[in-house]
Amino acid sequence: MGKILEERVGELLVRQGLTLAVAESCTGGLVGHRLTNVPGSSRYFMGGVIAYDNSAKERALGVRRSTLNDYGAVSAATAQELAQGAHRLFDTDIAVSVTGIAGPGGSTPGKPVGLTYIHLSAHETEWGERHVWQGDREANKAQSAEAALDLLRRYLERASAP
């Protein structure tokens, strides 16, 4: 069996000498939890912020109130500002963010339960993705964390390709 995703991400970060931070909302710290399950993760993982409430997104990570008002907490724009805020706050090479609607409530017209935005911010790179999961709350959180780690893996593998 191959390595689990967080181990692969860790290997790539170590190999490339890069550091990482996370900004999480709907996953409630699950991405950071999985990263820190890997022995030696303190070599590359600098920290994370769980910013669940909009005021925490603003104060801790510098998400603009106008972004939250215009696009909502669950949006590509907010995901980007969350990642950029973690990137600045922890002064890392890379930051990844997750914001979404885990469910079972919280949906609005055009924003169903399971809607998740993931964003990676690195030097001269901004990479975002939109997903809509079909599971219950726990499954949606798990799939969102997995997708964030997979986005990191794909970015790091692309960066290390000759």
Q: What pLDDT sits at residue 2?
A: 58
> What pLDDT score does 131 carry?
98
> What pLDDT was estimated at residue 159?
80
Mean pLDDT by 10 residues, the chain (162 residues): 85 97 98 98 98 97 98 98 98 98 92 97 96 96 98 92 68
Range 5-160 classified under CATH 3.30.70.20: no
Check: CB of residue 77 under 8 Å from CB of residue 67.
yes
User: What pLDDT was estimated at residue 86?
Assistant: 98
Determine the pLDDT at residue 112: 96
Domain ranges of the chain: 5-160
Distance CA 103, CA 12 (A): 33
Q: What is the pLDDT of residue 133?
A: 97
Rounded CA separation 41/21 (Å)? 11
What pLDDT score does 160 carry?
A: 76
By DSSP bridging, strand 115-122 and strand 125-132 are antiparallel
Residues written for the chain: 162
Q: Three-class SS of residue 90?
A: helix
Cβ neighbours of residue 123 under 8 Å, at least 6 residues apart? 93
